[in-house]
Structure 1
Amino acid sequence: MITGEDVYKVIEAMVPLYVALILGYGSVKWWHIFTRDQCDAINRLVCYFTLPLFTIEFTAHVDPFNMNYRFIAADIISKVIIVAVLAFWAKYSNNGSYCWSITSFSLCTLTNSLVVGVPLAKAMYGQAAVDLVVQSSVFQAIVWLTLLLFVLELRRAGFNTNSKEENINIEDGRKDIAVVGEQKSFVEVMSVVWLKLATNPNCYSCILGIAWAFISSRWHFEMPGIMEGSILIMSKAGTGTAMFNMGIFMALQEKFIVCGASLTALGMVLKFIAGPAAMAIGSIAVGLHGDVLRVAIIQAALPQSITSFIFAKEYGLHADVLSTAVIFGMLVSLPVLVAYYAALEFIY
């Protein structure tokens, strides 16, 4: 049963994020501290330094030998369902778009597990639920965010996956005509993509983190103080600088709700309905039940991952939609998640 004190703990975890957001917004909109070029530099700082070190920090302290693999399997099945639906839509629908499929995947699947999920899961189901949420977050960092980076690099490398991308409808009725350059071979594109991924710290940070987790759990090693201190000094700034950067992005836009009401509503539907529905199917398919089933569905309905916005901004793909999803998702997530909690009490 969630008490008023539990709700306060969740709010206590979320409010500092909005403080960082407001400071970032004010630094550009009110106080004119940063230029546009400086704002781009801040995004790159977050993307290539604070977030990778944040990833190393939380993945290095999990126990990979004591994970709920059926829970992980349910997560994989849910993502496969979403990818299959989006791929079918992109290929066969007249309105299909591979670029929008990438963004829709982010909206449906990538969650803010550590900031919102941990205190909420503990309030709802105790420490066992926290362990599951952390496992989900680690798997997200290692697999799904790496997959997202792969397709974003593939898109940046100039691989024209679908000629329908040439005509994309915008809010105001205009047509955005994509510029299609000289086609590269599949081999050339993949060479560029793998090279970019190999030099992207967001890829090998999670590998380093989980590698240390295996070593420390197997042989009971503790990370040397010098190493841990070196990681912590930047990783502690990860979430705060990401929210600060989002505030900067909002300040550079003409409108506060930069993607419009219809896309905002679509983002909320994908986040709070489509994602949990796919997770419910995956969970039932592998035989989850009881509190594990409830946690699986609730963690899929957590608000949008801040990292997904940072990547969208860096790669120039619908950053307006992702920023709005993060902001509004955290605003409406608490009542939505409490409603899920109440409804799931009737499930065995």
Structure 2
Amino acid sequence: MIGWEDVYKVIVAVVPLYFALFLGYGSVRWWNIFTREQCDAINKLVCYFTLPLFAFEFTAHIDPFKMNFLFIGADTLSKLIIVAVIALWAKCSSKGNYQWSITSFSLCTLTNSLVVGIPMVKPMYGAIGVDLVVQASVVQAIIWLTLLLFVLEFRRTGIEGTITTIKPKASSVSNVMMISGGEESKDVEANNIVEYTSTRLPFFELMKRVWLKFIVNPNSYGCVIGISWAFISNRWNLELPSMVEGSISIMSKAGTGTAMFSMGIFMALQEKLISCGPSLTLFGLVLKFIAGPAAMAISAFVVGLRGDVLRIAIIQAAVPQSITSFIFAKEYGLHAEVLSTAVIFGMIVSLPILVAYYAILDFIH
């Protein structure tokens, strides 16, 4: 049973994140240290350097031969259920669209397991809980965050590749005055009406551009290289050279802190502290703490999980929002205000929610 000492350990793990958030917020809102352009550069530093190296480091140090594939299967099935529900909503609802489908998937499925999940699960279920949460984090980084990155790149490339043409629809008499002798001349047309038409890139051309951008993004292959090394190192008992290990570690250790710092900067640039409003905040929390665990519970029963593994699967699905999902949302310009609010308030309310889940699931045998 989780006690006050365990609650204190969770608080100890979370407070440093809010300290980094506070520094980022204050550096812009109160101390005016960074300009808006510099803030964008900080987010790019996090997105393209610290997070890929962080992802590589923790995936490279697991033992893939000891993973619980039934647990991974339940986790995968839960996400496929959510994808199916979101796709049905996007097709059948008048409010459904591609942009909100991406964000809803992030809110339902992507968790901050390493920072919040491990301190919470360890006192509840011990070493087996920690091991399963790490496994879920690795699969999330390799498959689901990579998939999120791909669809975000697809969306942005499609927008950038849209060709807008302007053609005159009707125009009146133009009055052009020319003054010679090196003086000023006045391209003046009155009551000119034009028609704007947009042409999308052909699908194969769009996919070509997406893949070219995707393969040069370190987030798309950092985890893949990491898990590949994990297979090799555990198969033949190899270790990374100390210089390589140190070079990766020095940047990866800054990953979570700089991500929270970037989130604080983003909050400071908004007019309101909760820039997405209370309704979207509640929407994000419902998706995170109810829809995600519900899908996991269904999947866990379907694949046959029982006992503590079943309980751990449901609880890790209720862990707060992934910080990486915010960094990607900020970089690609899609509902970053919703994701930042989900991360911040999710970590605040997660402790009582996860304890409640723990107490309820204790009755499941």
Asked if 1:92 corresponds to 2:92, the answer is: yes
Letter in 2 for 1:327: I
Query: Unaligned 5+ residue runs, structure 1?
Result: 161-178
Q: Give the % identical residues.
A: 73
Decide which of 183, 193, 203 is 2:200's aligned counterpart.
183
Q: Tell me which residue corresponds to 2:347.
A: 330
Deviations 1:172-220 (A, max 9, x none): xxxxxxx984211110111011111100000110011001100011001
Q: In the alignment, is the contact (CA less than 8 A) between 1:9 and 1:119 conserved in 2?
A: yes
Decide which of 234, 244, 265 is 2:282's aligned counterpart.
265
Change in CA separation of 1:180 and 1:337 when aligned onto 2, cut-off 3 Å: farther
Distance 1:38 1:304 in 2: 26
Distance 2:87 2:357 in 1: 28
Q: Tell me which residue corresponds to 2:319.
A: 302
Deviations 1:7-56 (A, max 9, x none): 11111000000000000000000000000000000000000000000001
Q: Tell me which residue corresponds to 1:110.
A: 110
Q: In the alignment, is the contact (CA less than 8 A) between 1:24 and 1:248 conserved in 2?
A: yes
Q: In the alignment, is the contact (CA less than 8 A) between 1:68 and 1:132 conserved in 2?
A: yes
Distance 1:155 1:209 in 2: 27
TM-score (norm 1): 0.94
Distance 1:95 1:21 in 2: 33
Letter in 2 for 1:61: H
Letter in 2 for 1:295: I
Distance 2:197 2:274 in 1: 30
Asked if 1:313 corresponds to 2:339, the answer is: no
Secondary structure at the aligned position of 1:184 is classed as coil
How far the C-alpha of 1:249 sits from its partner, in A, is: 0.1
Q: List, as ranges, runs of 4+ consecutive aligned residues in structure 1 with deviation greater than 2 Å.
A: 179-182
Distance 2:276 2:89 in 1: 22
Q: Tell me which residue corresponds to 1:235.
A: 252
1:139-178 correspondence to structure 2 within 5 Å: 139-158=139-158
Change in CA separation of 1:278 and 1:210 when aligned onto 2, cut-off 3 Å: same
Q: Tell me which residue corresponds to 1:29.
A: 29
Q: Tell me which residue corresponds to 1:282.
A: 299
Distance 1:39 1:141 in 2: 25
Change in CA separation of 1:240 and 1:181 when aligned onto 2, cut-off 3 Å: farther
Q: Tell me which residue corresponds to 1:203.
A: 220
Change in CA separation of 1:253 and 1:180 when aligned onto 2, cut-off 3 Å: farther
Change in CA separation of 1:91 and 1:230 when aligned onto 2, cut-off 3 Å: same
Q: In the alignment, is the contact (CA less than 8 A) between 1:159 and 1:189 conserved in 2?
A: no
Asked if 1:46 corresponds to 2:63, the answer is: no
Moved more, 187-196 or 235-244: 187-196
How far the C-alpha of 1:92 sits from its partner, in A, is: 1.6
Letter in 2 for 1:63: D
Distance 1:202 1:213 in 2: 17
Secondary structure at the aligned position of 2:158 is classed as coil
Letter in 1 for 2:76: I
Decide which of 220, 231, 245 is 2:237's aligned counterpart.
220
Q: In the alignment, is the contact (CA less than 8 A) between 1:46 and 1:241 conserved in 2?
A: yes
Cα RMSD of the aligned pairs, angstroms, is 1.1
Q: Tell me which residue corresponds to 1:12.
A: 12
Q: Tell me which residue corresponds to 1:125.
A: 125
Deviations 1:258-309 (A, max 9, x none): 1000000000000000000000011111000100000000000000000000
Q: Tell me which residue corresponds to 1:173.
A: none
Decide which of 267, 285, 293 is 1:250's aligned counterpart.
267
Q: In the alignment, is the contact (CA less than 8 A) between 1:159 and 1:184 conserved in 2?
A: no
Q: Tell me which residue corresponds to 1:174.
A: none
Deviations 1:219-239 (A, max 9, x none): 011111001000001000000
Deviations 1:92-130 (A, max 9, x none): 211111100100000000000000011111110000110
Distance 2:295 2:213 in 1: 31
Distance 1:279 1:53 in 2: 29
Secondary structure at the aligned position of 1:158 is classed as helix
Query: Unaligned 5+ residue runs, structure 2?
Result: 161-195
Q: Tell me which residue corresponds to 1:346.
A: 363
Distance 2:50 2:265 in 1: 17
Letter in 1 for 2:69: Y
Q: Tell me which residue corresponds to 2:183.
A: none
Q: Tell me which residue corresponds to 2:182.
A: none
Distance 2:199 2:260 in 1: 37
How far the C-alpha of 1:157 sits from its partner, in A, is: 1.3
How far the C-alpha of 1:241 sits from its partner, in A, is: 0.1
Asked if 1:67 corresponds to 2:70, the answer is: no
Q: Tell me which residue corresponds to 1:169.
A: none
Distance 1:283 1:194 in 2: 34
